[in-house]
Structure 1
Amino acid sequence: MITKRKLIDIVKNSKLIYLTYYYLISPILSIAGLFIKAQKMECLFVCYGGRKYGDNVRPIYLQMLMDTRFRNWKFIWAFRDPNEFELPDKIRTKKVKIDSLEFFYYALRAKCWITNVSVQRGLSFKNRGTLYVNTWHGVPLKRIRCCVKDGFNVRTAEKFDLIFSEGTYDSKISVPAFQVKEKQIKITGYPRNDIMFDESLDLNKKVRRKYGLHDERIVLYAPTFRDYIKNDSGGFTFQKKLSPEKFQNTLGDQYKLLVRAHGAIEDHSTSDSSCVDVSDYPDVEDLLVAADILVSDYSGIIFDFSLLEKPIICFIYDLETYKKERGFFVDIEHFLPFKKCNTEEELYDAIKNIDIEESRNQARLFQKQCGLVKKGAAKNAVNEIYLALASQFK
């Protein structure tokens, strides 16, 4: 039996099937849009294809709810399972099931689309008067979208009106990756990171209480995915190159390993009692605040964690393979100022010998190098949306 995941994978990876799907369905939806009256004060939100209520999309929504300039607006959230999420507003906000007729109806009439990946489901049906905003979901070290070998077809790539970036580094990358002009990219910072600087929330205590942790030093292992490593159903799988048991035996009880698989990975479960699998924890920002040390590789989480100025270690055991299979925008070994390890032994030694002051200086250097915006990103983003709507999208 072909699963939905496998079917999606087939469509994505077969150029003929995808182009047939694209050129057959897109015109049908575009024609339908001619008969649906556009609403000047409706905004549609989609986060990770309807799987989540979070990332950069949620804080923008919450900010718009509070912003008096949007007091007469109505908001629509699209989810795979609308019953899974409770939203703070039930008067001005409606939930719909993604890929349903109701979803496409509201998508065709909304004045504004806000997403961290995509709204159009691999198609093209946006009305000319709709403002299409992409917040993206992580600053890329690895190549993305139109810059990936055999990746997005430039002709069928989505045409975004605004792209939000975390700093000057990813602004430059966004031009070729998203096929947009420089003026369409706005350096706002990532709205999801604002919460990390709200001390009243005590996110460290929240995470430790949930997982029964006390004074242990938390090491968060959060690698990116390998799109060349898949399971039988076609989904990305988690490559276990770090042994939780070896971690615990080497470093002792004063350290606790938290493992978070990339959101694109479906097969990530672990039965090892030596670590805590936090892959399903809803908000990674909470985990970043609680973590004392981040171990990652080529993931954009490095940029977010650097804002907290805590130790970062890059576990790049497959650098040459990843470079060949996926590719990078930069020379990883020279671009990242953090400690780099190729083996578990090197990693554990690096953890035991961390210099806090040196780590803080590395993070500050990285922030400056990438021109990262630290706070106030949600307000920045909503202001850019308002200005865009008030000008060319009247």
Structure 2
Amino acid sequence: MSNEIIQRLASLSQKNRKKRRVLFFGREEFSDNTKYLFLHALAQEKDFEVIWCSTQPELINKLRQHDLPCHLINNETSLECINLFLSAAVAVFSVNPSQSLNGDEALFASLQGARHIQLWHGVSVKHLLLKLMPHMDVLSYDFRRPLDFASRADCVLSTSSKLDDFFNESFAARRIIRAGYPRNEVLVREPNKHEMIGSELPEALLQALKNKRRKKILFAPTWQRGHSDLITSSPDFLMKLIQAGDRLNADIFIKSHPIYVEAGATRALSRQAFYINPCTDLYPWMSHFDLLVTDYSSIMFDFLLTGNPVMKLKIELNDHRSFEPDYSLIPSLDFAYDFTEETFASAMRQALLNDTMRPERQAMCDELFETDADKACASLFNLLSHEVDACVAGGQRFTVEQY
């Protein structure tokens, strides 16, 4: 891709008058914060258009089957995509735009005149984006491109005043938007029909989730940048987890990070263990789990909204990576049962059978989520309306001079 095309498209996008149009981008499947805000916006009376954009043909076909407005991004539709992007007033992301656009520089350039809203995907104990520069190779295109794409955001969502500085430093966004995560709404209310798209599970897993005679444990390790020696990355740990769960009359549900898109189909591994494809949106099912076990996935903070216990791997800073996990990024409160390889079984027994940390979890939840979880989409819909109005009006503003 020539620099001339990229520069020209960016310039044209910044000059082109915008239509009242909001484009939503997400992961490879229909999930995460943009999914829930997109569906909420569709259901409202509004004076702007909303469209889901994806590089995944299977996802676009699924959305079309449900009569949801969407647009496929591929080589055959490149001119159509560029024209669509040039006309958009607002672009909404919940992951790095580089991921949503497959790193396409021309497509990203075509969005330069739009307002970029970054919802991101969770409270983090990982250093992100600009905060990673001291630890990574900024001369590497594969690092530099997504870094630049994501730090273009005009505004970034932060769920708490305790996190504002982190998101400002990570994204260089001068505007911080206070609201909850849209995906967390289904942790505190029943999902609607369209919110179950992308959350489909086989019948065997549904029956296990609804079985009130057994406890349900979700094991959700985070994405690792390169090789990991953590015990949670070991097959032996999975076997110990399954065995410990069975002794406590609990089924184990294993779900890796969504970035592992080729990790296999959802299926039963045994009578008491189930594997969930990483791309499955598990949020509508999250409140069914009695316990979350993780290394340091951001899911553990959202899971606090269920009121149920969390177990996290005990890791000191620099024992694993020089930049993660870094618990100084969040309020200094105990909220989870820390475990090591030696204390894992006893920690699980206490969390399931003798949980004493509910007040601590609620205290951390209050610190991290300062707004009502069930009002996230309504609040952000108001932001969309404001940004559409501002972007469209800005493109129509001019002066007339006579000499």
TM surpasses 0.5: yes
For the pair 1:350 / 2:347, whether they are aligned, the reply is yes
After superposing the two structures, state which structure 1 stretch, 305-314 or 37-46, moved more: 37-46
Consecutive unaligned residues in structure 2, runs of 5 or more:
394-403
Aligned to 1:69: 46
The answer to whether the Cα contact below 8 Å between 2:308 and 2:358 also exists between their aligned partners in 1 is yes
After superposing the two structures, state which structure 1 stretch, 105-114 or 217-226, moved more: 105-114
Aligned to 2:86: 108
For the pair 1:163 / 2:163, whether they are aligned, the reply is no
Aligned to 2:26: 47
> Could you tell me how far apart the structure 1 residues matched to 2:233 and 2:227 are?
8
After superposing the two structures, state which structure 1 stretch, 381-390 or 297-306, moved more: 381-390
Q: Deviation at 1:285?
A: 0.8
Q: Deviation at 1:195?
A: 1.5
Aligned to 1:362: 360
Q: Deviation at 1:179?
A: 0.8
> Could you tell me how far apart the structure 2 residues matched to 1:242 and 1:287 are?
27
CA deviation vs aligned residue, 1:68-125 (integer Å, no higher than 9, x gap): 123x5252422321544225863x7232225650333312221111111244644351
> Could you tell me how far apart the structure 2 residues matched to 1:34 and 1:201 are?
38
Aligned to 1:186: 177
What CA RMSD, in Å, does the superposition of the two structures yield over aligned residues? 3.5
Alignment equivalent of 1:117, drawn from 92, 95, 107: 95
Aligned to 1:262: 257
> Could you tell me how far apart the structure 2 residues matched to 1:226 and 1:58 are?
24
Aligned to 1:132: 116
Aligned to 1:235: none
Could you say what secondary structure the match of 1:323 adopts?
coil
Identity, % of aligned positions: 17
Aligned to 1:386: 385
Change (3 A) 1:281 1:210: farther
> Could you tell me how far apart the structure 1 residues matched to 2:91 and 2:192 are?
29
Could you say what secondary structure the match of 1:306 adopts?
helix
> Could you tell me how far apart the structure 1 residues matched to 2:13 and 2:225 are?
35
TM-score where L is the length of structure 1: 0.78
Q: Tell me which amino acid in the other structure corresponds to 1:60.
A: L
> Could you tell me how far apart the structure 2 residues matched to 1:308 and 1:144 are?
26
> How many residues end up aligned between the 2 structures?
358
CA deviation vs aligned residue, 1:105-161 (integer Å, no higher than 9, x gap): 312221111111244644351556411111111211111111112266576753111
The answer to whether the Cα contact below 8 Å between 2:90 and 2:114 also exists between their aligned partners in 1 is yes
Q: How does 1:139-288 map to 2 (within 5 A)?
A: 139-148=123-132, 149-150=135-136, 153=144, 158-181=151-174, 184-199=175-190, 210-211=204-205, 212-213=207-208, 214=211, 215-229=213-227, 239-240=233-234, 243-252=237-246, 254-266=249-261, 268-269=263-264, 272-273=269-270, 275-280=273-278, 282-288=280-286
Q: Tell me which amino acid in the other structure corresponds to 2:172.
A: Q
The answer to whether the Cα contact below 8 Å between 2:179 and 2:376 also exists between their aligned partners in 1 is yes
> Could you tell me how far apart the structure 2 residues matched to 1:324 and 1:25 are?
39
Q: Deviation at 1:246?
A: 2.5
CA deviation vs aligned residue, 1:219-257 (integer Å, no higher than 9, x gap): 101011111229xxxxxxx92355333333334261111
Q: Deviation at 1:332?
A: 8.0
> Could you tell me how far apart the structure 2 residues matched to 1:316 and 1:266 are?
27
Could you say what secondary structure the match of 1:85 adopts?
helix
The answer to whether the Cα contact below 8 Å between 1:164 and 1:381 also exists between their aligned partners in 2 is no
Aligned to 2:401: none
After superposing the two structures, state which structure 1 stretch, 314-323 or 170-179, moved more: 314-323
The answer to whether the Cα contact below 8 Å between 1:193 and 1:375 also exists between their aligned partners in 2 is yes
For the pair 1:330 / 2:328, whether they are aligned, the reply is yes
Q: Tell me which amino acid in the other structure corresponds to 2:338.
A: K
> Could you tell me how far apart the structure 2 residues matched to 1:356 and 1:29 are?
60
Aligned to 1:375: 374
Could you say what secondary structure the match of 1:256 adopts?
strand
TM-score where L is the length of structure 2: 0.77
Q: How does 1:8-19 map to 2 (within 5 A)?
A: none
For the pair 1:27 / 2:42, whether they are aligned, the reply is no
Q: Deviation at 1:30?
A: 2.4
> Could you tell me how far apart the structure 1 residues matched to 2:380 and 2:289 are?
27
Change (3 A) 1:369 1:209: same
The answer to whether the Cα contact below 8 Å between 1:142 and 1:327 also exists between their aligned partners in 2 is yes
Q: Deviation at 1:210?
A: 4.5
